[in-house]
Amino acid sequence: MIQTCTQQDGAWGNLVQTGVRICLAGILTSAVAASALAGDAERQQAKRIHDRLTGVAPTEAVLDAMEQSIIDNSGSGVAAAELAMDPAQNPLALNFYNVTLKNFASPWTNEDQSVFVPLNDYSATVIGMIRDDKRFDQVLSGDILYKGAPGLAGVAPYSPANNDHYQDLEDLHYDLSDPTVLQENVQSSLNGIPANATAGVITSRAAAEAFFVAGTNRAMFRFTLINHLCTDLEPLKDITRPPDRIRQDVSRSPGGDSRIFLNSCVGCHSGMDPMVQAFAYYNYDETSGRLVYTPGSVQPKYLINSDNFKYGYVTPDDHWDNYWRSGQNANLGWGPEIPAAQRVGAKTLGQELAGSEAFARCQGIKVYRTVCLSDPSETDLTSLLSASGFETNYNMKDLFANAAAACMSN
Ligand code: HEC
């Protein structure tokens, strides 16, 4: 009776008295069950959003508020997620900044991609930029660096020559969600390089120590691609690009076989070397422990092993070009072309990379992985980017909120 009961049976049915009563009871029972289930679902969703953004369970009060937010927003969890990340509304929001975001950014700051590294100027800047809703497409080009406020008890003053300041902030558990603790600064006023030579986290001390150390500065390019365009070089290999900017250190006949050069080495070096030229004036000095910038003077590492191929490219300055705007790598979705006269140095290369579709997609992928604990499908990614408006506002917090909401049911 209860199972076959329909609204018509209950409301307008012409059944015998007892049948009607049983039927009404059936409707009532299932209505109560449905609403209990709905409430339950929203509470579960709220809890999942909070757990994944902060790594901890919410307080009862915050869980209530988040659940209500999902109900009030017709099942959308975006506002609930924003609430979870807001220290003014959630006493546990600090975990999003101190733990989740620190773990999010730390692997980008070292070659091993380890999450187990101390806080540094790179990770602190990512945390601060996200906290303060800075446009994240500035992360590879801005004259910006976050550090602790002056005079925090027990914290060594900021130094461009060591990581003590950031290590102390972490060891003493200073709260990075607190704007009186972690503060935005003009990078060039701290590390002593000219404003136009700053390039966001690329010119952070941590990145310099990891990627400008020794070598040929190609590592900075490779790891920026891995961390911010979500691709290593292998998939980008394109042997159809002109080899005219490949440096002298790359042999044109490795092992005596020029076919290897033409079929392999060219694939990466023809596109990579003209972009790495942007870093021609940078180095990391292991003795002083700091980023070095020598405007007008190409670093010796650009000119080493010149006998490998005498007729190779001799780097004269820091003018870069992007040969991957044509050919298969046009599908990275480059933004408007930067005029040739401005294609000098790390700042404009950072703009070139961050202006690509691949950069925006990569932030979406990384955020989705962090909060949804799996890779997004193409459909997940497309709807995440459009729902959050990331490619217009470059707001990472919105990206986190939309990702957390997208997977709140599973
Ligand atoms: C998949 C992309 C890729 C291919 C293919 C490739 N390279 Fe490289 N090459 C790199 C990257 C990336 C670096 C920078 C490595 C680093 O410093 O971490 C590099 C660095 C170098 C260096 C400088 C090494 C140093 O002292 O730091 C030389 C020389 C070189 N490559 C030669 C070659 C030759 C010769 C070939 C072909 C046999 C080749 N490469 C193929 C990506 C590639």
Which residues face 319 on adjacent strands?
Answer: 344
Residue 37 Cα to ligand 1 middle (Å): 58
C-alpha dist (Å) from residue 92 to 61, 309, 404:
11, 59, 16
* Index of the ligand 1 atom closest to the CA of residue 221: 12
In angstroms, the first-to-last Cα distance of the chain is 35
CB atoms within 10 A of CB 288: 11
Query: How many residues would you count in the chain?
Result: 410
Do 136 and 394 form a contact (C-beta atoms < 8 A)? Answer: yes
- Is the distance from the beta carbon of residue 250 to the nearest atom of ligand 1 less than 6 Å? yes
| Cβ(22)–Cβ(2) below 8 Å | yes
Pocket of ligand 1 contains residue 249 by CB under 6 Å? yes
Q: Is the pTM of this model over 0.75?
A: yes
Q: Which atom from ligand 1 is nearest to the alpha carbon of 249?
A: 29
Q: What CA–CA distances, in Å, run from 238 to 87, 231, 243, 265, 273?
A: 47, 14, 11, 10, 13
Pocket test for ligand 1, best of 241, 253, 268 (most atoms within 8 A of CB): 268
Query: Which residue is associated with the tokens 């966001």?
Result: 200
Take residue 236 and report the two structure tokens written for it: 């980008």
Cβ neighbours of residue 201 closer than 8 Å, sequence gap 6 or more: 108, 122, 125, 126, 139, 140, 207
Show pLDDT as tens, one digit a residue, over the chain (410 residues).
233 333 333 332 333 333 333 333 333 344 444 444 556 899 999 999 999 999 999 999 999 999 999 999 999 999 999 999 999 999 999 999 999 999 999 999 999 999 999 999 999 999 999 999 999 999 999 999 999 999 999 999 999 999 999 999 999 999 999 999 999 999 999 999 999 999 999 999 999 999 999 999 999 999 999 999 999 999 999 999 999 999 999 999 999 999 999 999 999 999 999 999 999 999 999 999 999 999 999 999 999 999 999 999 999 999 999 999 999 999 999 999 999 999 999 999 999 999 999 999 999 999 999 999 999 999 999 999 999 999 999 999 999 999 999 999 99
Q: Count Cα atoms within 13 angstroms, Cβ side, for 72.
A: 9
- Encoded tokens for 215: 């070598």
Atom of ligand 1 nearest to the CA of 308: 29
> Residue 193: helix, strand or coil by DSSP?
coil
**Phi, psi angle pair for 57, to nearest 5°:** -75, 145
State the DSSP code for 74.
T
Nearest-angstrom CA–CA distance, 85 and 40: 22
Instruction: Determine whether the shortest distance from the Cβ of 268 to ligand 1 is under 6 A.
Output: yes
What integer pLDDT is reported at residue 37 of this predicted model?
A: 57
Cα–Cα nearest to 294, from 150, 194, 167: 194
Report the SS3 class of residue 317.
Answer: coil
How many angstroms does the Cα of residue 261 sit away from the middle of ligand 1? 11
